[in-house]
Structure 1
Amino acid sequence: MSNELAKAASPYLLQHKDNPVHWRLWSPAALAEAEGANKPILLSVGYAACHWCHVMAHESFEDAATAAVMNELFVNIKVDREERPDIDHIYMQALHAFGEHGGWPMTMFLTPRGEPFWGGTYFPKEARYGRPAFVTVLRSVARAFHDDRGKITSNAEAVRQSLGQVQPILADAAPLSLALADALAPKLADYVDPVDGGLRGAPKFPNPAIFEFLWRADDRLAHKTYRDLVRLTLTKMSEGGIYDHLGGGYARYSTDDRWLVPHFEKMLYDNAQILELLALAWQHFGDELFRQRAYETVGWLAREMTNAGGGFCASLDADSEGEEGKFYVWTWPELVEVLGAEDAAFFGKFYNASRIGNWAEEKHGKSVTILNRLELKTPPTAEEEARLAPLRQKLFAVRETRVHPGLDDKIMADWNGLMIAALVHAATTFGEPRWIALATRAYHYIVDRLQFTDDDGARRLAHSTRAGVVVKPGLALDHAAMARAALTLHEARHMTGAELASYDYLADAIAFTQAIARHHIDAQTGLIAMAADDARDIVIRLTPTSDDAIPNAHSVTLDVLARLAAATSDETWRARADALFAAVTPAVTAQPIGHVGILNALDLYLRGREIVVAGPQRQALYEAALAAPFDTRMVLELEPGATLPPGHPAQAQIAAAGTAAAFVCSDGVCALPVHDIAGLGALLALKN
C-alpha cells in the first residue's frame, strides 16, 4: 500500500511512496495529527540525488520492523529539501544549534507544533560508525518526549530563541569596503591546496564563490598567483574523476583530496557556477581544456538535463541499480571488450585505466576504474586526441545502454535562473549564440509556468513545478536568480544569431526585484527573509546571509541591484543596494570568509563598468562590449530613437558623437567615446 507520498510530485518523495512507513506530506494537517495523537514528529529531509538518503531508506524506511516502530511512536513527515529549501534551512539551523554537523538525510524530532527538540543526520539500522542504531534512537526520543516534557520544552524554546536571534544593528559600523576583501584574499589563498587546487583536505567541493572571490581579488590587487590558484583548481577538477569525461558535467564533490572519487550526483546549480568560472578562465588564460569542458558541460545540459519544454532539471542521482557510481565506472575487461586490447591500452594511458583499477568499490568487493586524467604530465597531442575522441564516443555509446541514474526532473526557478545567466555569460564569452537560445527557452518555461499575480496585482514567482504541481510562493532566491537571468538576456538580446523573441526582459527583472522588496525584506533588520511574508506553513522566517553551495539570496540580489542601477540610471536601485549592504555589514564584518558572495557583489557594485553603445552601425562595438569579461561589465545598448535615462553621465556626449560610439562609465563618470573595437579594448584594459 502506498502512503501519502503517492500524492506528491517530487521524485524524491515518490521514491518513498511504497515504504511501510506512514509518511505524511508537510502540511498543517500532519501537525494537527501529531497534536491530536500526542506524538512527536519525525521529520526526514533529503533529496533525490543523495546517496546516504538512499542508504537510510533501504536500511530502515523499507524495513517493516523499523517502520512499525516509527509508525507506533511518531507522526512521520518526509520533505524534499530542494522543493522546500525554507523548511530545510530552518531545521538545519536547528541541528547546528544542537551542536551537530549538518548533512542529508537530516533526521529531526519535533514537537507537534513543529518545534525542533533534537536531531541528527544518517542513523544506521544497526549501531556502527559511532552512531546508535536507528530503532534505539527512536525509542529513546519517544520516551523522553513523554516522560520528560519539561526538558523537551526547554530544548525547543532554546532552539527557537537561537534561531530567532536578531543580529545587532551597528549604527556606527563602518560601511563595507573592498579593504575588507583585500585583507581576506591572502588568507583565503592560504587555504587553497597548492598541488591539487580546491580548499585543502578532503572532501573537496568546487566552492565557486571562493574562487570567484580570488579571481576578482587578482584583478584589484594585480596579485597574479590568485588567478593561478583558480586555474589550478579548474584544471585539476576538469581532469579529475569529479568530471564526467564521457558525458560532460561535474559531480557534486570528491570524497578524496585530489578530485578522484566523486559522490557521483550531478547538480544543476554546481554546473551553472562552474560554467561561469570556466568561461572567465578560458578568456584570460586561453587554455583549450576550459573551452572543451564548457562545451561538453553545455552538451550534457542540453542532452540530459533539459525537458521537452526547455526547462532545466534539478539533478542526476549518484546511484543506479542500487550502487553508487555504477553507471560511470568501468572494469578492465569491459574496456577491452568495447575498445579492443590495443585501443584499451592506449586509452588507459590517458585515463588512468588499468587491470587493477583505481577505486576499490567496497560494497561488492571489486576494483573498478573512475576515468580521469590526473596522472597526465602533459595534455594529449592533437594526433593523440584525434585517436582518443572516437574511443570516448564508443564508451559513451555503450554506457548509454546501461541503466541510467535517476533524473530529478523538478524545474526550479532559482536553479534555472543560475544556469540561464551562466549560459548567456558563456555564450557572450565563447561567441555561441546557440547557448542563448537554450537559455531563452528555459527562461520562458519558468515565466510561463511559475509566474503568478498576487492579490495586490504584483508579479511573483513560484519555486518549482513538476507533473502539474506548483510549489508556491517562491523564495527570495527564486526572484533574485531569475532577475539576474532576465538582465543577462536583456543585455544580449541583440547578439548576432541569438534570435531572442521581442520581449521586455528588463521589465521582468524590475518586477522580480520589486517582489523581493514587497515580500521578503525583514522590517526589523532590513535583511532578506528566505521565505515570503505570506508563507503560512513554517514556524519561523529566517534571514540567512552566509554562503552555501547554492548562492545566498543577499549576494544575488545585490548583484541584481548593481546591474539594475546601471541599466536604468534610477537611483532607487542604488539606494536599495546601499541599504542592503548596510544591513549585511555586521554579519560580513564578523565572518567575512562566510560571505564572499556578498563581497563579490560589492566588487561589482564599486568597480563594475558600464559600457554604453549607441549610434548607427554599432553592432560590432556592441558585440565587443558583450565579449568583455562579464564579471565586471554591464552593457547598455541604446537603440535608434531611444535616449539615456535622465542624469546619465554619457547623455550629453551621445548627441555629439554622431556615429557608432562606446562609452565606458564608472562611478558616475564616463570616458571620452571610442568608435572602434581597438579603442574599446584599450579603455577596458585600464584598471579602475
Structure 2
Amino acid sequence: MPANLLGRETSPYLLQHKDNPVHWMAWGRDAFERAKRENKPVLLSVGYAACHWCHVMAHESFENPEIAGLMNELFVNIKVDREERPDVDQIYQSALAMLGQQGGWPLTMFLTPEAEPFWGGTYFPPASRYGRPGFPDVLRGVAETYRNKPENVTRNVAALKDALGKLAENRAAGEVDLAMLDQIADRLVREVDPFHGGIGHAPKFPQVPIFTLLWRAWLRTGKEPYREAVTNTLAHMSQGGIYDHLGGGFARYSVDEMWLVPHFEKMLYDNAQLLDLMTLVWQAEREPLFETRIRETVGWVLREMIAEGGGFAATQDADSEGEEGLFYIWNEEEIDRLLGPGAEVFKRAYGVTPQGNWEGATILNRLHRIEALDAETEATLAEQRAILWREREKRIKPGWDDKVLADWNGLMIAALAQAGMVFDEPAWIAAAQSAYAFVRDRMTEDGRLLHSWRAGQLKHRATLDDYAHMARAALALHEATGDAGALEQARAWVRVLDAHFWDAQAGGYFYTADDADDLIVRTKSAGDAATPSGNGTMLAVLATLHHRTGEAAYRERADALAAAFSGELSRNFFPLPTYLNAAELLQKALQIVIVGDPQASDTAALRRAVLDRPLPDRILSVLPPGTDLPAGHPAHGKGMQGGVATAYVCTGMTCSPPVTTPDALAAALTRR
C-alpha cells in the first residue's frame, strides 16, 4: 500500500514531512517507476529545513488531510531537500524560469513519469489569495490537463526539454581581456544603492562575489566609488537587523532596502562568503566594526555550527515555535526588565521603541547611527548584549539542520583558514582543519566525494561545486599550514573532475558527473547563484595549482576553462563575478615565497608583512631551508640570504631581488 516513506531518510527537511498524510517518496527510481505503473504525473516539491514559506505550505496543505488526499489520488508525490540534491533543484528551477515564473522555495513542479517538467510554481496557498490560485484547484487542473489534454503536456514537455538541453551550452571566445574588468566594475557600481548599500532595492541579498569584484577594482584603480560601495554596504549590513547583534552571524537576506528586517534563517554559505570579503576589506581599512563582526561571526560558527565529527552544519531555521523570527525579537518591557536603569542607553543605541519596528516587536539594529559610540558607552553596550544573550539562550531555539554538505563546508573552511592567518587565530585554522579532515575522510567512497552526511549516513554523489570548493579549501589550508597533503588532495580532486566532469567538446565542467544516471539533463554554467559558481571557483583552483606547482597542464586547463565561458561576457556579465575574479588571478597572480624556518621569528615577521596587506591575487609559500619549489616555478632555486629568512615577490616568471626585512617586503609588494 502507498504510504509516506520519508521516515527512511536522514535529511532534517525530509524528516519534517515524515508524518504528513501525503504519500511522500524520496527522489529516485522507485518513485518514477510507480508513476509509470499508475500512469500518474509526478508532483515534485523542493525545499529546505530553514525555509519559512516551505513551513507555511507544509502546515497549510501537506498537513491538511483533504489536500493530502487529493495529492495522493492524483499524483505520485516526491519531496526533495534542495540542499541534499542541488542537481535536481537546479534543473527544475531552470524549468520554472523557462515557464516565465520567478523561482524560489518551496518549488512545486509537475513532471511526467519520465521526470520531464510540464508546469509548476512555488508557494501555493490552500485557497485562492495573494493573487495565487488555491493549491487544490491547481492539483485538479493539472491532473485534468494531464489526463484529458495530453497534447498540451506533450507540447510543454517538448519546449522545456529543448530549452533545458541548452543549459549545457556555453559561449566560448578567447582569453579574458582584463581591461574589461574596469568597464564591468563601472557598470556594476551603478547598481549599488548609494544610501544603504547593496544591489538594487528590496529584497536585498549580500551578493558577495559582486562586491569582491568591486573591491578588487578599487585596489586596482584607486577609484573611490568602488571603495565606498563596498564599505558602505558592509557597514549597513553589519549594523542592520540582518546581523544577529547578540549571537553573531548574518541572516540570508533583508526583506527591505535598509537591511533592517531579515529573513531570519542563517546559512553557512552566506557567512563564509561574508567572512572572506570582510577579511579582505579589513586588511586595507582596519575598520574596527568589521573586525568585530568577523570575530563574532566566527564565534557563532564555532559555538553553534559544528556538527558531529567536526564538519560544519548547514543552516539555522528562520522559525521557532512556529513563528518566523520569534527567537530574535524583543519588546521594550523585556529590555527594561532585564537591563534596569541602564536600559535607556541600550534602547537608544539599538532602536528599541514601545511600538517596535517589526510587527509590534523590535529587531535589534544600529542603522540610525552606523558609527561607533565612545569607548565607555560601547563597553556598556557589550555588557548589556551579554545579559540579553544569556536570556535569549533560555528561549526555544530555531531548528538546526546539522547535515554536512561538502561544498558549503569548503566555503567555510577556506574562509576560516584565511581569516585565521590574517587575525593570527590558530583556533580558527584548527577548526577549518577538523572540518576538512571530516569531509576528506568521512565523505569519500572509492576515491569519489559524496555531497551530504548526516546521522552516520553518507548520501548523494558530489557535484562540481563540492569538488571545486573543497579543492579551494585544501589550497587555503596548504597556504595556512604548509601541509603538503592538502596540496596533493586538491590535485586528486581536480583529477576526478577532469575525468568525470570536463566537457571535451565545448570546454568547461558539467555540474554533474558523467555517471549521474537519474537526471534528465547535465547542466553547465559559470554563473554564480547563492554560492560562487563551480566553474569560476575551478578557474581559481587551477590558476593556484599552476602557480604552486609550475605544471603547465594546470595552466592549459585553466586557459581552456576561461576561454569556454569568455563569450558569455558579451551576453550577461552580472552573474560572472567569481569567474572574472579568477580570470584576474590567472593572469596577475602575485607569488610570494618566504624561505626560512617556519617557527622562527624572522620568518613570521615576513609572513605578517604579507598578511597585513589586501592582496586578493596572493599565492604565499613558506619554505623551510633546504626545500625547493618545482622547476617550473619562477623562484626555483632561490634560498635564504645571510642566514636569515628571505622573501621573493614574483609575477609571471620574474622575481624581485631577495628581501630580508618586513619593511623591504612591504615596499616590494607596494611596487607590484
TMscore range, shorter length: over 0.9
- The answer on whether the counterparts of 2:246 and 2:389 sit within 8 Å (CA) in structure 1 is yes
Residue 338 of structure 1 corresponds to which residue in structure 2?
338
Residue 395 of structure 1 corresponds to which residue in structure 2?
388
- The answer on whether the counterparts of 1:425 and 1:630 sit within 8 Å (CA) in structure 2 is no
The alpha-carbon distance between structure 1 residues 21 and 668, as it changes in their structure 2 partners (threshold 3 A), is same
One-letter amino acid of the structure 2 residue matched with residue 352 of structure 1: G
1:563 aligned onto 2:574 = no
Residue 524 of structure 2 corresponds to which residue in structure 1?
543
One-letter amino acid of the structure 2 residue matched with residue 527 of structure 1: G
1:309-342 deviation line (CA, Å, top 9, x unaligned): 21100000000001000000011111122222x2
Residue 358 of structure 2 corresponds to which residue in structure 1?
359
- The answer on whether the counterparts of 1:31 and 1:114 sit within 8 Å (CA) in structure 2 is yes
Q: Equivalences for 1:467-546 in 2 at 5 Å?
A: 467-493=455-481, 504-546=485-527
Q: Shift of residue 658 of structure 1? A: 5.8
Q: Shift of residue 472 of structure 1? A: 2.9
- The answer on whether the counterparts of 1:461 and 1:472 sit within 8 Å (CA) in structure 2 is no
- The answer on whether the counterparts of 1:588 and 1:594 sit within 8 Å (CA) in structure 2 is no
Residue 348 of structure 1 corresponds to which residue in structure 2?
347
What SS does the aligned partner of 1:461 have?
strand
- The answer on whether the counterparts of 1:2 and 1:19 sit within 8 Å (CA) in structure 2 is no
What SS does the aligned partner of 1:612 have?
strand
For residues 475 and 612 of structure 2, what CA distance do their matches in structure 1 show? 16
What SS does the aligned partner of 1:594 have?
coil
Residue 499 of structure 1 corresponds to which residue in structure 2?
none
One-letter amino acid of the structure 2 residue matched with residue 334 of structure 1: E
Q: Shift of residue 657 of structure 1? A: 7.1
Q: Which moved more, 1:1-10 or 1:510-519?
A: 1-10
1:386 aligned onto 2:367 = no
For residues 68 and 333 of structure 1, what CA distance do their matches in structure 2 show? 46
For residues 377 and 533 of structure 1, what CA distance do their matches in structure 2 show? 51
For residues 488 and 657 of structure 2, what CA distance do their matches in structure 1 show? 30
- The answer on whether the counterparts of 1:24 and 1:78 sit within 8 Å (CA) in structure 2 is yes
- The answer on whether the counterparts of 1:268 and 1:419 sit within 8 Å (CA) in structure 2 is yes
Q: Shift of residue 623 of structure 1? A: 4.1
Q: Shift of residue 246 of structure 1? A: 0.2
The alpha-carbon distance between structure 1 residues 234 and 655, as it changes in their structure 2 partners (threshold 3 A), is closer
Match of 1:612 among 562, 577, 593: 593
One-letter amino acid of the structure 1 residue matched with residue 525 of structure 2: P
Residue 11 of structure 2 corresponds to which residue in structure 1?
10
1:92 aligned onto 2:93 = yes
Residue 135 of structure 2 corresponds to which residue in structure 1?
134
1:313 aligned onto 2:313 = yes
Q: Equivalences for 1:312-461 in 2 at 5 Å?
A: 312-340=312-340, 342-360=341-359, 367-376=360-369, 378-453=371-446, 459-461=447-449
What SS does the aligned partner of 1:470 have?
strand
What SS does the aligned partner of 1:654 have?
coil
Match of 2:654 among 669, 676, 681: 669
1:273 aligned onto 2:251 = no
For residues 37 and 169 of structure 1, what CA distance do their matches in structure 2 show? 39
Residue 297 of structure 2 corresponds to which residue in structure 1?
297
For residues 509 and 589 of structure 1, what CA distance do their matches in structure 2 show? 32
What SS does the aligned partner of 1:635 have?
strand
- The answer on whether the counterparts of 1:59 and 1:124 sit within 8 Å (CA) in structure 2 is yes
For residues 589 and 566 of structure 1, what CA distance do their matches in structure 2 show? 29
1:111 aligned onto 2:112 = yes
The alpha-carbon distance between structure 1 residues 525 and 272, as it changes in their structure 2 partners (threshold 3 A), is same
1:642 aligned onto 2:627 = yes
Question: Quick one: percent identity of the two aligned structures?
Answer: 50
Unaligned runs of 5+ in 2: none
1:41 aligned onto 2:34 = no
Q: Which moved more, 1:148-157 or 1:30-39?
A: 148-157
TM-score (norm 1): 0.95
Q: Which moved more, 1:602-611 or 1:36-45?
A: 602-611
Q: How many residues align?
A: 667
Q: Shift of residue 652 of structure 1? A: 4.6
Q: Shift of residue 594 of structure 1? A: 1.6
One-letter amino acid of the structure 2 residue matched with residue 404 of structure 1: K
- The answer on whether the counterparts of 1:2 and 1:17 sit within 8 Å (CA) in structure 2 is no
What SS does the aligned partner of 2:199 have?
coil
Unaligned runs of 5+ in 1: 361-366, 454-458, 495-501
1:409-434 deviation line (CA, Å, top 9, x unaligned): 01011000000000011111112121
TM-score (norm 2): 0.97
Residue 284 of structure 2 corresponds to which residue in structure 1?
284
Q: Shift of residue 525 of structure 1? A: 1.8
Q: Shift of residue 445 of structure 1? A: 1.1
One-letter amino acid of the structure 2 residue matched with residue 522 of structure 1: D
- The answer on whether the counterparts of 1:167 and 1:587 sit within 8 Å (CA) in structure 2 is no
The alpha-carbon distance between structure 1 residues 48 and 386, as it changes in their structure 2 partners (threshold 3 A), is same
What SS does the aligned partner of 2:310 have?
coil
- The answer on whether the counterparts of 2:236 and 2:370 sit within 8 Å (CA) in structure 1 is no
For residues 394 and 431 of structure 2, what CA distance do their matches in structure 1 show? 27
Q: Shift of residue 386 of structure 1? A: 1.4
Q: Shift of residue 143 of structure 1? A: 0.5
One-letter amino acid of the structure 2 residue matched with residue 650 of structure 1: A
For residues 481 and 436 of structure 2, what CA distance do their matches in structure 1 show? 13
Q: Shift of residue 292 of structure 1? A: 0.4
For residues 552 and 389 of structure 2, what CA distance do their matches in structure 1 show? 53
The alpha-carbon distance between structure 1 residues 630 and 463, as it changes in their structure 2 partners (threshold 3 A), is farther
For residues 349 and 49 of structure 1, what CA distance do their matches in structure 2 show? 32
The alpha-carbon distance between structure 1 residues 34 and 166, as it changes in their structure 2 partners (threshold 3 A), is closer
For residues 327 and 97 of structure 1, what CA distance do their matches in structure 2 show? 38
- The answer on whether the counterparts of 1:34 and 1:40 sit within 8 Å (CA) in structure 2 is yes
Q: Shift of residue 343 of structure 1? A: 2.0
For residues 137 and 642 of structure 2, what CA distance do their matches in structure 1 show? 79
Residue 595 of structure 1 corresponds to which residue in structure 2?
576
- The answer on whether the counterparts of 1:3 and 1:22 sit within 8 Å (CA) in structure 2 is yes
Q: Shift of residue 637 of structure 1? A: 2.0
1:167-192 deviation line (CA, Å, top 9, x unaligned): 76767x34211122211111111110
For residues 593 and 327 of structure 1, what CA distance do their matches in structure 2 show? 36
- The answer on whether the counterparts of 2:260 and 2:363 sit within 8 Å (CA) in structure 1 is yes
One-letter amino acid of the structure 2 residue matched with residue 139 of structure 1: R
- The answer on whether the counterparts of 2:540 and 2:586 sit within 8 Å (CA) in structure 1 is yes
- The answer on whether the counterparts of 1:252 and 1:266 sit within 8 Å (CA) in structure 2 is yes
